[in-house]
Amino acid sequence: MSVSSATEVVDPVPGAGAPHLPRQPDLVQLLTPEGERVEHPQYSLDLDADELRDLYRDLALVRRWDVEATALQRQGELGIWASLLGQEAAQVGAGRALQPGDMAFPTYREHGVAWTRGVDPLHVISLFRGVDNGGWDPVATAFNLYTVVIGAQTLHATGYAMGLQRDGAEGAVLAFLGDGATSQGEVNEAMIWAASFSAPVVFFCQNNQYAISVPLERQSRVPLYQRAAGFGFPGVRVDGNDVLAVLAVTRAALAAAREGQGPTFVEAFTYRMGAHTTSDDPTRYRLASELEEWKLRDPIARVKAYLSRSGTADQDFFDAVEAEADELAARIRRGTTEMPDPPGTAMFDQVFAEQTPHLAAQQAAFEAYQATFEEASE
């Protein structure tokens, strides 16, 4: 069954003027849910055996990282965790489309993209443990720090892209957002600026069907990728569970941006298999049958099926990846539980490049307050 075979959807919004949403358009797809390789007239992809195996390895290790982090949060080791379960292909495919001179601006869920940019998983974990604001160097990794304010990163990305234009640089920018963020004013402002200045930015929307608990049909009267036309640049919808299609589409969009053709909106049609975050209960707003249907479109299973049927990988390869995933999970767990807490005064260190007198006074007052607890315990 193809993801593109969805039928007309009845709009459940009470009192809505339009009784139905448009039929879902065909998706760009290069690998079916059953693991069969197909061609697309506009997007082609030629990968050798090593590259295909590397993509599978990325998907498997990123999922294992995510599963381990979820377990750590449930055991009280993390304050919260935003799972990417089910969205691995969208993130790995997009991340592997980036070139060294490109820059990525994530939300708070792009762990798979972080992986492709060489970010240590523990540097992401430290943010969710409350140790720091993200332990990686955005300049060295070309991967910006996580943005929790919904949609704000699209403005940052557009501004960065305009800076590349003025510097005469050849890179492009990949701005990540979710379907819910398309309802934010910042995202629409970013698209207006990007279109007006033909900025080299690609807006990569992971449509995982729910903005926390709000389904897509309550947010948009048209498929999200069609909104790009209103801003004056192209939009494309890709099977977000197909890592090959995502890689091909994102490569093309980034190449167009580098060539001066301006922005593109990519809608990766996928599904959030887990909760919005570990503080969410998805059983309150979606059916179990829906989840079971999307399990048949699993992004990792289809790659494994293709590699096996084509003879590109054997059982020894899959066993080796699983063993590597076990080692990664053990390192993440060990590193998380051994992660030292920062001193309370650390919150003053990264406010400004140079500490201001006002901030110094606040720090002094905080230190004096902390000292009262030490005196009371003596």
**Catalytic, out of 23, 74, 285, 334:** 285
Partner residues linked to 10 by β-bridges: 20
272 assigned to active site? yes
Cα–Cα distance for residue pair 191/264, rounded to 1 Å = 10
Cα–Cα distance for residue pair 207/238, rounded to 1 Å = 10
CA dihedral (52, 57, 59, 61) in degrees, to 10, reads -170
**Catalytic, out of 109, 117, 276, 297:** 276
- Does residue 182 contact residue 227 with C-beta atoms inside 8 Å? yes
What separation in angstroms does the CA of 132 have from each of 83, 100, 102, 264, 344?
A: 19, 26, 25, 33, 11
Report the sign of the C-alpha dihedral through residues 93, 95, 101, 103, in that order. positive
**Catalytic, out of 117, 237, 251, 272:** 272
96 assigned to active site? no
331 assigned to active site? no
Cα–Cα distance for residue pair 305/348, rounded to 1 Å = 51
210 SS3 class: strand
Please identify every residue annotated as catalytic: 272, 276, 285
